[in-house]
Amino acid sequence: MKDKKLVGIDILRAAAVLLVMLYHMWVCGGTPEIKFVPLRRLVSLGGEIGVTLFFILSGFGIYYSLARMERINGKVDVASFVKRRCRRILPQYYVNVLFVLTIGTGAAYISMGHWKNILSHIFFVHNFVLDWSGAVNGVLWSMGIIVQFYLLSIPMYKLLNKMKYFFVPCSVILTILVKAGIYRLFLPEYGGNGFYLGRSLVVFTSLDNFAIGMFCGWLAMNRKTSSSWLRFGAGAVIGYILLDMVCKAGRIYGIHTGNMSGYVFHSGVAVALGVIIWAFAYAPFSEENLFVKCFQWIAKYQYGIYLWHLIIIRNWTASSTLIMDLIGREKYWIAYTLMGISCMVVGVVVTKIIDEGYMRIRKEK
């Protein structure tokens, strides 16, 4: 299939960061009651769903990148792939870490007791530090997982091209088994920190997220049928129903727990989101639509918004008298809108400064 911009995937990229941002505003703003039950489940698990969607979309994008490279060059150029990933991830990540440790709220980490934590952030292995006391920025744990996935992505790409439809079931089974084993081995020793153990300890506890994304990328790149509102509508509805069912079960039985629900929750979310991604890949959205343009703009700066939003939200909810007053008077959506706009503005501005500065340095060299 010829390369074609998948507008629906851009919309999902924007939706992922907006969902994570909404979840953090909801949590930092006191977790106000949401009367509509399906919406409450979606918001209360927005961080889990949003990050899972990030992982899946990362797998999707990596498959597309590797497949295009192989088609154009006849092979996968590992050096070029690594260089592009580093250029995309590293500059803004290190600026973010430096900001948090010096100017932001993470100065407490500047101590002898946290030297391993800081070094682990520099080398993207902070999810392996077993005396884990949290990421210096609460969203950075996921960056370690993503960079580790990059190291596995080329062999996974080759496996997918060989295994085709067996690739996802095998990855899901492996992920569940690894997660169950980690819970059984470490949960009692590490005080029941189920989130750390089951979600961020090793990349293999999220491996099926990336595998499903790569498989969705393979389906999209090799599809033989054209875009269709019918396929989009049917897939989106089925995917949402599956997602709501998984979230409902997770709320009842646990999502970071040493039982079957904890072992399979994120896999179930990933499968449901995979159906939604398949649907959006077929959506015949017009790039001239204002709604679509707004989402594409957010998607373009998704990484910067994701890195910086939690710092801003925590600062505003803890220090801004305006935001605290709005939350106190239950004017949540006004407070959320103000915080959301500020998060997007900062994410865009910082991205432009860092990316344009980096490109200027490269040109001078």
pLDDT one-digit tens code per residue, 12-64: 999 999 999 999 999 999 899 888 888 888 899 999 999 999 999 999 999 99
Cα torsion angle, 289, 19, 145, 349, sign:
positive
Q: Considering the domain boundaries, does residue 166 fall inside one?
A: yes
Q: Considering the domain boundaries, does residue 43 fall inside one?
A: yes
Q: Considering the domain boundaries, does residue 211 fall inside one?
A: yes
Q: Considering the domain boundaries, does residue 1 fall inside one?
A: no
- Which tokens hold the place of 10? 């851009």
For position 2, what pLDDT does the model report? 43
The whole-angstrom separation of Cα 56 and Cα 50 is: 10
Stretch 138-148: mean pLDDT, rounded?
A: 90
Which region among 74-78, 110-114, 128-132, 155-159 has the lowest average model confidence (pLDDT)? 128-132
Stretch 174-179: mean pLDDT, rounded?
A: 93
Report percent pLDDT > 90 for the chain.
60
The whole-angstrom separation of Cα 299 and Cα 146 is: 18
Q: Considering the domain boundaries, does residue 160 fall inside one?
A: yes
- Number of compact structural domains in the chain: 1
The whole-angstrom separation of Cα 92 and Cα 158 is: 30
Instruction: Count CB neighbours of 224 within 10 A.
Output: 5
For position 1, what pLDDT does the model report? 40
More confident residue, 8 or 200: 8
Confidence check: pLDDT of 269 > 60: yes
Of 277, 273, 265, nearest to 199 by C-alpha is 265
For position 152, what pLDDT does the model report? 94
Q: Considering the domain boundaries, does residue 2 fall inside one?
A: no
Query: Band of the pLDDT at 67, cuts 50, 70, 90?
Result: very high
Cα angle at 209 between 247 and 16, to 5 degrees? 65
- Give whole-number Cα distances, 299 to 113, 210, 211, 255, 293, in Å: 38, 19, 22, 28, 10
For position 358, what pLDDT does the model report? 66
Which region among 1-5, 122-126, 271-275, 325-329 has the lowest average model confidence (pLDDT)? 1-5
Q: What is the mean pLDDT of the chain?
A: 88
Confidence check: pLDDT of 191 > 70: no
**Dihedrals phi, psi of 284, to nearest 5 degrees:** -85, 55
Confidence check: pLDDT of 188 > 80: no
Question: Helices 46-73 and 260-281, interaxial angle, to 10°?
Answer: 50
HSE of 196, CA atoms in CB hemisphere, 13 A? 19
Q: Considering the domain boundaries, does residue 115 fall inside one?
A: yes
Confidence check: pLDDT of 4 > 70: no
Q: Provide the Cα torsion 266, 13, 193, 125; round to 10°.
A: 110
The whole-angstrom separation of Cα 287 and Cα 293 is: 6
The whole-angstrom separation of Cα 302 and Cα 7 is: 15
Confidence check: pLDDT of 187 > 90: no
| Domain around 91 | 7-364
Q: Considering the domain boundaries, does residue 353 fall inside one?
A: yes
For position 189, what pLDDT does the model report? 55
